[in-house]
Amino acid sequence: MTDLSHVIDQSTPSIARVYDYLLGGKDNFVVDREIGDHFKNNLPGSVAIAFTNRQALVRAVRDIARDGIRQFVDLGSGLPTADNVHQVAKRHLPDATVAYVDNDPIVLAHGRALLATDANTTVFQADLRDPPSIRDNPEVVKMIDFDQPVAVIFSAILHHLNDDEDPAGVVRYWSEQLAPGSRVYISHFRSGHNAETTAAEQKLQSTFGRGRWRTDEEIVALFGDLEILDPGIAPCAHWRPDPAPADGTPAIGVSDRELSVWEQLIVAGLARKN
């Protein structure tokens, strides 16, 4: 891990770094690992949330690229890990362009180091709650042509916004910027009305002082007037699962087994602007 101790506040946990730890990354500090270990040790099975969310994002980017969309804006992108948006997109469209946005300075530092030689990918620090500052950022203006279809990614980020921060308004702003044929992808913690959901929600709220789980109906409402594509809003593990490979290795996503309470906790949806 690059030594950023002189510029990063190590006393306060970071959403991006906690996710990084849960996914097996090394770009995190003791304070982040303490939160991650709470989920690992006190809420056994909950780490599946991070993995099924990541796998659904991979499938979403793959399908968007297969539909010919070459431009991606990944909001609240988190730390670089395996199968980043630009890596998945470029498997199908080598000229794909990606703008990564996060408010954590460690994401900016590591992202720029990783992407230093990639002219079609950029990363910068900004606040999701101020979308015009992102849309008008010179990095976005240079990289993304909003007169052509664009995919905007909200992967596991909108549940960190409180209602008074108007997450639906954030999505609506970006929808209004997009050309017809564009896509909006959202994954989001859902209200499970059970002890596990309550425990997880309370832990994150007490740690970060923000965020709210939402019902399926509330998550649908975040898409506004966009057309939600098949299969609608579904648990990440069941959202567009891959068929099992012929060699017997596990598929990315599952469709033929009952999900754990944790796998039911996070859902995904993809919508199109007509």
pLDDT above 70 (res 258)? yes
Question: Given this model, what pLDDT does residue 236 score?
Answer: 94
What is the model's pLDDT at position 45? 73
pLDDT band for 89, please (50, 70, 90 cuts): very high
Q: Over the stretch 8-23, which tens digit does the pLDDT of each residue have? A: 667 777 777 887 787 7
pLDDT computed for residue 92 by the predictor: 95
Task: Report pLDDT digits (tens) over 150-198.
Answer: 999 999 999 989 999 999 999 999 999 999 999 999 999 998 777 777 8
Q: Are strands 266-272 and 234-235 parallel, antiparallel or unpaired?
A: antiparallel
Is residue 104 over pLDDT 60?
yes
Report helix, strand or coil for 185. strand
Q: Is the pLDDT of residue 7 over 60?
A: no
What is the per-residue pLDDT for 239? 96
**Interatomic CA distance for residues 153 and 239, integer angstroms:** 16
> What pLDDT sits at residue 249?
59
**Tokens coding 35:** 């939160």
Contacts of 251 (CB under 8 A, 6+ apart): 241, 242, 243, 244, 245
**Which letter, b or e, does each residue of 110-149 get, where b requires 16 or more Cβ atoms within 10 Å of its Cβ?**
bbeebbeeeebbbbbbbebeebeebbebeebeebbebeeb
d(CA 73, CA 86): 10
Share of the chain above pLDDT 90, in %: 50
Q: Is the model more confident about 242 or about 90?
A: 90
Mean pLDDT of 107-126: 80
By CB atoms closer than 10 A (0-12, 13-18, 19+), residue 195 is exposed
Write down the pLDDT at residue 203.
77
Q: In the structure, what pLDDT confidence band is assigned to residue 1 with cuts at 50, 70 and 90?
A: very low
- DSSP secondary structure, 107-156, as one string: HHHHHHHHTTT-TTEEEEE--TT-HHHHHT-HHHHHH--TTS--EEEEES
Those residues with Cβ within 8 angstroms of residue 205's Cβ, 6 or more apart along the chain or in another chain: 211
Domains of the chain (ranges; CATH) run 15-272 (3.40.50.150)
C-alpha separations of 115 from 82, 118, 142 in Å: 14, 5, 16
Of 36, 67, 62, the residue nearest 49 (C-alpha)? 36
What tokens appear for 56 in the block?
A: 């659904």
In one-letter notation, the amino acid at residue 109 is A
User: Does the pLDDT value for residue 4 go beyond 50?
Assistant: no
Mean pLDDT of 28-32: 84
Would you tell me how many other CB atoms lie within 10 Å of the CB of residue 62?
Answer: 18
- On average, the pLDDT of the chain sits at 86
Q: Residue 260: what pLDDT?
A: 84
- Per-residue pLDDT band for 246 (boundaries 50, 70, 90) equals low
Residue 94 and residue 111 in contact, taking contact as beta carbons nearer than 8 Å: no
